[in-house]
């Protein structure tokens, strides 16, 4: 269980203008089939009309990843790709507006179970669209649309959104994450979760600031673990007490002024990451919502090498 002191809903805030330290190539609209080049992250979260759809996120779902046939993918027709882009835009618009009532009509119960653990949370990171790819039709009849976006101000996400056709309307059924690989100098810090141990950074939870910081999570358990990353503030900001690995996990208390900056859903045995672009120096806390355990993480000042 995870508790927030004070208000439960926190609106993400911008920590100043993002420094343009990455060599991003700018693209607009539709990109290639594999979206591997991203736009400048100074773009604003997408806004637009939010239209109710034909889906039903309350439909039964067992909380496990969708067991679909993703083999034999063939390119979708241009009009299908256009329709999927319109559907994806609508999902983003409703998501960014915080219109959960409309959002749950645009997705299936499978999506909500796999991405959120069964319930759409109150605290959502706004999406800044970076580009779409070309749609593909899979063996099970569903259609995938590659998409890159920023979640909040710092989390870079590369994934494929998989839609199902419900009476002529495309409804989002699954998000397949790819390992995020934005351009720029990077560092990878591994963290681990399990059903019987607290979340932890086995090799230590400190790194110097680099343009890209990837927190690579490994789920050694069988249950699904939703892991959230919060920014606490500068290096002088107090950090919470944490439980040691293998000890009973406490209820995580995250300060009300902390800012959600990243999230990832890890199914049993899954490995995936929270990739941060231009993350600010300071203290963070990683929270495993499965058991309420947490681990502190720190980004220190960049290392300057004089030649």
pLDDT of 247: 55
Q: In the predicted model, what is the mean pLDDT of residues 75-101?
A: 93
pLDDT of 122: 81
Spell out the alpha helix ranges (H) of 77-215: 78-97, 100-103, 109-116
How much is the mean pLDDT over the chain? Answer: 80
pLDDT of 213: 96
Q: pLDDT tens digit string along 232-244?
A: 999 999 998 876 5
Instruction: Give the residue, 7 or 56, on which the prediction is more confident.
Output: 56
Cβ count within 10 A of residue 135:
27
Phi and psi (nearest 5°) for 250?
Answer: -80, 170
pLDDT of 166: 87
Question: What's the CA gap between 307 and 165, in Å, rounded?
Answer: 59
Q: pLDDT tens digit string along 288-303?
A: 999 888 999 999 999 8
Mapping DSSP to helix (H, G, I), strand (E, B) and coil, where does residue 110 land?
helix
Question: What's the CA gap between 65 and 83, in Å, rounded?
Answer: 25
pLDDT of 243: 62
| Residue 51 reports pLDDT greater than 60 | yes
| Residue 12 reports pLDDT greater than 90 | no
Q: Which residues of 171-205 are buried (b: 16+ CB within 10 A; e: fewer)?
A: bbbbbebbebebeeebeebbbbbbeebbbbbeeeb
Q: In the predicted model, what is the mean pLDDT of residues 218-233?
A: 96
Question: What's the CA gap between 113 and 53, in Å, rounded?
Answer: 19
Terminus-to-terminus CA distance in the chain, angstroms? 50
Provide the whole-model pTM.
0.81
| Residue 173 reports pLDDT greater than 70 | yes
Question: What's the CA gap between 88 and 86, in Å, rounded?
Answer: 5
Q: In the predicted model, what is the mean pLDDT of residues 73-85?
A: 92
pLDDT of 67: 54
Q: pLDDT tens digit string along 234-291?
A: 999 999 887 655 555 555 678 889 999 999 999 999 999 999 999 999 999 999 999 8
Q: pLDDT tens digit string along 139-162?
A: 888 999 999 999 999 999 999 999
| Residue 68 reports pLDDT greater than 70 | no
Instruction: Give the residue, 58 or 113, on which the prediction is more confident.
Output: 113
Instruction: Give the residue, 134 or 33, on which the prediction is more confident.
Output: 134
The residue count of the chain comes to 307
Give 120: exposed, middle or buried? Use CB within 10 Å, 0-12, 13-18, 19+: middle
Percent of the chain clearing pLDDT 90 (strictly above): 55
pLDDT of 24: 31
pLDDT of 183: 83
């Amino acid at each position: 269980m995870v508790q927030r002191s004070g208000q439960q809903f926190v609106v993400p805030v911008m920590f100043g203008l993002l420094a343009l330290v990455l060599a991003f190539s700018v693209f607009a609209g539709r990109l290639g089939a594999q979206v591997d080049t991203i736009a400048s992250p100074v773009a604003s979260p997408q806004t637009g009309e939010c239209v109710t759809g034909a889906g039903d996120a309350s439909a039964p779902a067992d909380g496990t990843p969708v067991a679909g046939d993703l083999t034999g993918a063939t390119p979708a027709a241009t009009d299908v790709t256009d329709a999927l882009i319109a559907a994806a835009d609508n999902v983003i618009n409703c998501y960014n507006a915080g219109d959960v009532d409309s959002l749950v009509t645009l997705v299936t119960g499978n999506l909500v179970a796999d991405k959120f653990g069964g319930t759409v949370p109150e605290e959502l990171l706004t999406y800044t669209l970076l580009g779409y790819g070309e749609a593909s039709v899979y063996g099970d009849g569903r259609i995938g649309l590659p998409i890159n976006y920023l979640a909040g101000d710092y989390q870079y996400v590369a994934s494929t959104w998989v839609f199902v056709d419900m009476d002529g309307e495309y409804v989002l059924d699954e998000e397949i994450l790819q390992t995020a690989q934005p351009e720029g100098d990077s560092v990878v810090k591994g963290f681990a979760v399990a059903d019987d141990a607290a979340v932890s950074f086995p090799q230590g939870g400190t790194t110097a600031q680099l343009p890209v910081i990837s927190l690579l999570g490994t789920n050694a358990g069988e249950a699904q673990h939703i892991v959230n990353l919060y920014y606490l503030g500068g290096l002088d900001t107090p950090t919470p007490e944490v439980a040691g690995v293998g000890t009973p996990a406490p209820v995580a208390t995250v300060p009300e002024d902390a800012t959600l900056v990243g999230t990832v859903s890890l199914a049993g045995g899954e490995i995936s990451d929270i990739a941060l672009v231009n993350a600010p120096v300071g203290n963070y806390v990683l929270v495993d919502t499965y058991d309420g355990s947490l681990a502190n993480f720190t980004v220190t000042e960049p290392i300057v090498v004089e030649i």
